[in-house]
Amino acid sequence: MTLNDLYTTILDRKNNPKPGSYTNSLFDSGLPRIAQKVGEEATEAIVAALAQDNARLVEEIADLAYHVLVLMAAKGLTPQDILDELARRHR
């Protein structure tokens, strides 16, 4: 699975809610809760980087990436928006 695949799945949940979906529970909770989850996952990734093994760090970065993609979808941003900004900075 690529990050684009995951983002597409997240958008599908946003547009076609599934009962019991964690992604839908995030969207239902609203932007403040989604942003809070991004912050929590970022903190967990930092802790893993400083005090845990790489396997745990990978898990925490995966959680962070997922929640960032949910935040992006909630705000109407796409992965391409981020890639475009990175390309602009590289010039």
Burial of 51 (0-12, 13-18, 19+ CB in 10 A): exposed
> Per the structure block, which two tokens stand in for 91?
């010039």
Given a cut of 90, whether residue 8 has pLDDT beyond it is yes
Residue 76: give the domain boundaries: 3-90
Given a cut of 90, whether residue 91 has pLDDT beyond it is no
Domain count, the chain: 1
- Amino acid (1-letter code) at residue 52: Q
pLDDT in tens, 23-82: 999 999 999 999 999 999 999 999 999 999 999 999 999 999 999 999 999 999 999 999
Predicted local confidence at residue 45, as pLDDT: 98
* 44: CATH: 1.10.287.1080
Q: Which of 18, 22, 34, 43 is nearest to 67 (CA)?
A: 34
CA separation, residue 38 to residues 26, 44, 48, 80, 90 (Å): 11, 10, 15, 20, 26
